[in-house]
């Protein structure tokens, strides 16, 4: 399963160990989102834990549409939800680098590409 840790992801970025620029950009956005996530919900250590938190937050599959709805919810009380909104914005940018529509699949594909190298 998808247990790529954020530390490992950081190392892969530092070592530039991605097959293509899109994967690297996706990895950077995931780290940005995780950094913004901080401790606002729970401390997550890997991509699988992160996606589970996000699925609970959106109430199902994490897609661009569900993230946009979540962002609207956070924007209603932006002073209280600034970090959450930042996290969602970083995650939304990931969809610019892939044709995939579900965040879990993007995380899984990224994990597979770095495992095979």
Tens digit of each residue's pLDDT, the chain (117 residues): 458 999 999 999 999 999 899 999 999 999 999 888 765 556 788 999 999 989 999 999 999 999 999 999 999 999 999 888 999 999 999 999 999 999 999 999 999 888 766
pLDDT at 2: 59
User: Which range marks the domain in which residue 24 is found?
Assistant: 6-115
Residue 1 lies in a domain: no
Q: What's the structural domain count of the chain?
A: 1
Q: State whether the Cα torsion 36-57-70-61 is positive or negative.
A: positive
Residue 46 lies in a domain: yes
Residue 82 lies in a domain: yes
pLDDT at 69: 97
Counting other chains too, the contacts that 25-28 makes at CB distance below 8 Å and 24 or more residues apart are 25/97, 26/94, 26/97, 26/98, 26/106, 26/110, 27/110
Residue 41 lies in a domain: yes
- Cα–Cα distance list, 69 to 72, 73, 89, 116, 117 (Å): 5, 6, 12, 35, 36
Residue 77 lies in a domain: yes
Q: Are 64 and 95 in contact (CB under 8 A)?
A: yes
Residue 56 lies in a domain: yes
Residue 62 lies in a domain: yes
Residue 106 lies in a domain: yes
């Amino acid at each position: 399963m998808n247990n790529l840790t954020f530390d490992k992801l950081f190392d892969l970025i530092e070592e530039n160990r991605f097959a293509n620029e899109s994967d690297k950009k996706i990895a950077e956005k995931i780290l940005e989102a995780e950094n913004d996530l901080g401790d606002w919900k729970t401390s997550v250590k890997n991509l699988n834990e992160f996606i589970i938190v996000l699925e609970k937050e959106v109430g199902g599959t994490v897609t661009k549409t569900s993230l946009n709805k979540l962002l609207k919810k956070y924007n209603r009380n932006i002073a209280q939800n600034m970090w959450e909104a930042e996290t969602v914005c970083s995650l939304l940018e990931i969809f610019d680098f892939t044709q995939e529509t579900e965040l879990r699949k993007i995380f899984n594909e990224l994990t597979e590409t770095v495992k095979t190298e």
